[in-house]
Amino acid sequence: MKKSAFLLPVVAILLQACHAEKETILTQGLTVSQSILVHQDTFLLKGAESLAQPVLTIEGENITVDFNGALLKGAEDSHRPDAFSGTAILIKGKNITLKNATVRGYKVAVMAEGVDSLRLIDCDFSYNYRPRLHSNREREDFSDWLSYHQNDKDEWLRYGAAVYLKNCPHALVKNVTVTGGMNGLMLTGCSDGLFYNNSIHYNSGVGIGLYRSSHNRIMHNRLDWNVRGYSHGFYQRGQDSAGILVYEQSSGNTFAYNSATHSGDGFFLWAGQTTMDTGEGGCNDNLIYKNDFSYAPTNGVEVTFSKNRIVENKMEACTYGIWAGYSYASNFLGNEISDCKYGIAIEHGQNNWIWGNNFNNDSIGVKIFGREKQPADWGFAQGRDVKSKGYTILENNFENVKYPLHISSATDVLIAGNNQFYKYEKILVQEKPNENLVQGAVLDTVPEIATELDREKGNAQPLEDANPTQLDAAQLKGRQYILLDEWGPYNFQYPSIWLRNIEGDQYTFTLWGPSTGNWRTVGGEGWRKINQKTGAFPAMIIATREPGAEILSLQLEFVGEAFMDEFGDFNKKGKVFPFGFSRSEKKLGWKVRWYNYNDTTDPLQHYEAFQNLKNQPALKTATTNDLHYAWWGSPGEGVNEDKFATFAEADFEIVPGKYLLTLSSDDGAKLLLDGKTLIEHWDVHEPAADEAVVQLGGRHHLEIEHFDGGGFATLGFSIQPIMANQVK
């Protein structure tokens, strides 16, 4: 017995040693070709400059890689997510499972190509790449707009992604978390997959995106606050961010039981460039069923140039509940649309059913209309009949809707007699004549689409192990709680301060953060009085500006419960956490001049001749304290719509300190500080923002040179102080 008792711990130690030997230590460039259990640790392995050089490759068939809770981290400095690079994990092969992984600090956390039956389960791919946003409280910056029109050559990868799947049929992605990044789960060429119970929220781009991806089920996901381009009370652009993005020949998918609230668009579907050019195909026969798309700055649902079914969804407090331009043979059935500017708006739609929807407190319930002339470069409109025609409006309820029906330039519109109208100003507005608009008809038979709908609902039954997706009861809801800083949407979990109102010399701030603990002000400049200097969250501060102050700042600290900050760093209980606010109200007094240029003064071919333009009389001049322009045509009389030059200069004095200078441009631009080039982006490009951090103090001279090569053009400049506890 004594011998056996002695052997037991020895055997246990040997077993533990054998188990430890089976655990894999991650190293740079490791390739895994068989199932492994990763050693539970943090592995700091820097991402390469190229996405084609992954840190870890999983390749083969019938492989399970269990990260066992290990963390793969690509960058030491978490405060510069716009500098993250490389691919963390590349997967190739068949029937491969990756589970229990945490990956941070890369341009792409997981990329899989050509993998049949891929499974990503119980993983966290938060706090990966996201660019700095340049829109601010008062105005948006056009460099923040996204473009997803092309992805046949993986153009989407310029934005990075937590997960990027290419040509991966039968994929399963379940219980994956993505927050504090830009794009979550991006699918291209993927079919017959199941994506559910994922939490992809508080990102600055897209929650789940599809491109040429069909017959997938996207269900029971939390996709809230995937947003940019919003400033409450100033602008509500969305900038093509979305909870769900569906592009280019993605058909036959089911989107059900998702929550995609507070996103740029809740659901954004566009047929694709192929359809726009040829008039063929589209993103068709998708079922959008029982989702919540509320509080979208732009559209709860956008579906265009395609035929789809939008059934029993909720859209509250959006600009458009549903925008469905050029939709045809589509069904809008049983949706709850409230507090929207427009309930359902369809331009040049055909043969659509609007049936059994509830409209409440909307300005306009149903808007049907057409334009006088179609764009010449739309093959869709030039090659097919796009006349606005063939609507059935049946069994809808309109309550407290100012104008339930707003119909113009349409043909063959049947408004059945069993719609209900309560508390309205005028039921039907017809700004332009309609042809064969029939009111009050009674349908004796149930339309065939009712049977089709019942069958489709049967194919979209809730999954047995589905997680709830509705927002928590304690969660703040409403567009006023879409709060964006330079890194994206705020999640109300860490200490933060927001300027909400300016009235004369009084600046009102709201403070949000953990429920247990206290904040206090520890410094700042530019204020004569602050009404409250300490307290608990949430709170409001009213600060009175010092007359003539041009640089305003507040420095605060929080001590209290533990939390995760916006960069994914853990702040333990009781540790002091600094946060703050800074703003420049410096008036620079720009002098701006415009000129035309030609082949002999082309800025790219004959730069000196281009520069010499400013020695000639200007075609237009202006003075401004706020250099922020956007041109869809000519800047002014006598100036070309395309191929014009802008020169601007300013002399100013400023208090000593470190400042962030940002130059936004489309096309080329240069910024010179005291005669030396500081920023140069001298080519034809889409809207872009370039930055420089400089030490200023005293008197300085700024010059800007800009040219427009054609099409849309923009030019903007901003200067912001950098506080001691800010990282730039």
In a domain, 615, yes or no: yes
- pLDDT grade for 121, boundaries at 50, 70 and 90: very high
In a domain, 232, yes or no: no
The structure tokens 């009674």 sit at 442
| DSSP secondary structure string for all residues of 1-15 | -HHHHHHHHHHHHHH
Mean pLDDT of 523-551: 94
For CA atoms 549, 553, 555, 561, the dihedral sign is positive
| DSSP secondary structure string for all residues of 576-609 | -EEEEEEEE-----EEEEEEE--GGG-TTT-HHH
Omega before 667 cis (within 30°)? yes
pLDDT beyond 60 at 228: yes
- pLDDT grade for 632, boundaries at 50, 70 and 90: very high
Verify that 547 and 616 share a domain, yes or no: no
What percent of the chain is modeled with pLDDT above 70?
95
Verify that 683 and 607 share a domain, yes or no: yes
H or E segment at 692?
strand 688-708
pLDDT beyond 70 at 13: no
- Can you tell me whether residue 381 is helix, strand or coil? helix
The per-residue pLDDT for 229 is: 96
Neighbouring residues of 12: CB distance < 8 A, sequence distance ≥ 6: none
The structure tokens 């900050």 sit at 565
477, burial (CB in 10 Å: exposed 0-12, middle 13-18, buried 19+): middle
H or E segment at 458?
helix 448-458
Range of the domain at 689: 590-721
The token pair at 270 is: 């566009």
Going through 5-145 in order, the beta strands assigned E by DSSP cover 23-24, 30-32, 36-38, 42-44, 56-66, 71-73, 87-99, 102-104, 108-113, 119-121
Domain edge (last residue) among 405, 438, 455:
455
Domain edge (last residue) among 433, 455, 477:
455
The per-residue pLDDT for 449 is: 67
CA distance 98 to 81: 24
pLDDT beyond 90 at 440: no
Domain edge (last residue) among 559, 583, 607:
583
Verify that 607 and 717 share a domain, yes or no: yes
In a domain, 497, yes or no: yes
In a domain, 623, yes or no: yes
In a domain, 28, yes or no: no
Tens of pLDDT, residues 682-726: 999 999 999 999 999 999 999 999 999 999 999 999 999 987 654
For CA atoms 613, 615, 620, 625, the dihedral sign is positive
The token pair at 394 is: 């049946």
- pLDDT grade for 628, boundaries at 50, 70 and 90: very high
Q: Give the CA radius of gyration of the chain.
A: 28
Verify that 405 and 500 share a domain, yes or no: no
The structure tokens 């900038």 sit at 239
Verify that 613 and 706 share a domain, yes or no: yes
- pLDDT grade for 9, boundaries at 50, 70 and 90: very low
For CA atoms 226, 244, 181, 236, the dihedral sign is negative
Going through 265-418 in order, the beta strands assigned E by DSSP cover 265-270, 287-289, 299-304, 309-311, 314-316, 320-323, 331-333, 336-338, 342-347, 350-355, 358-360, 364-369, 389-394, 397-399, 403-407, 411-416
CATH number at residue 613: 2.60.120.1560
524 vs 409, 546, 585, 655, 725, CA distance in Å?
A: 59, 12, 15, 14, 12
Mean pLDDT of 488-501: 97
In a domain, 111, yes or no: no
Tens of pLDDT, residues 274-324: 999 999 999 999 999 999 999 999 999 999 999 999 999 999 999 999 999
- Quick one: which of 94, 91, 220 has its CA closest to 165? 91
pLDDT beyond 70 at 149: yes
CATH number at residue 552: 2.60.40
Tens of pLDDT, residues 542-590: 999 999 899 999 999 999 999 999 999 999 999 999 999 999 988 899 9
Verify that 706 and 610 share a domain, yes or no: yes
Tell me how many domains the chain contains: 3
In a domain, 192, yes or no: no
Neighbouring residues of 440: CB distance < 8 A, sequence distance ≥ 6: 415, 416, 417
Tens of pLDDT, residues 651-662: 999 989 999 999
H or E segment at 21?
helix 2-22
> pTM for the whole thing?
0.94
Higher local confidence (pLDDT), 472 or 110: 110
Question: Is the distance from CB of 240 to CB of 486 less than 8 angstroms?
Answer: no
Verify that 626 and 646 share a domain, yes or no: yes
Question: Is the distance from CB of 127 to CB of 105 less than 8 angstroms?
Answer: yes
Tens of pLDDT, residues 664-689: 999 999 999 999 999 999 999 999 99
The per-residue pLDDT for 457 is: 72
pLDDT beyond 60 at 3: no
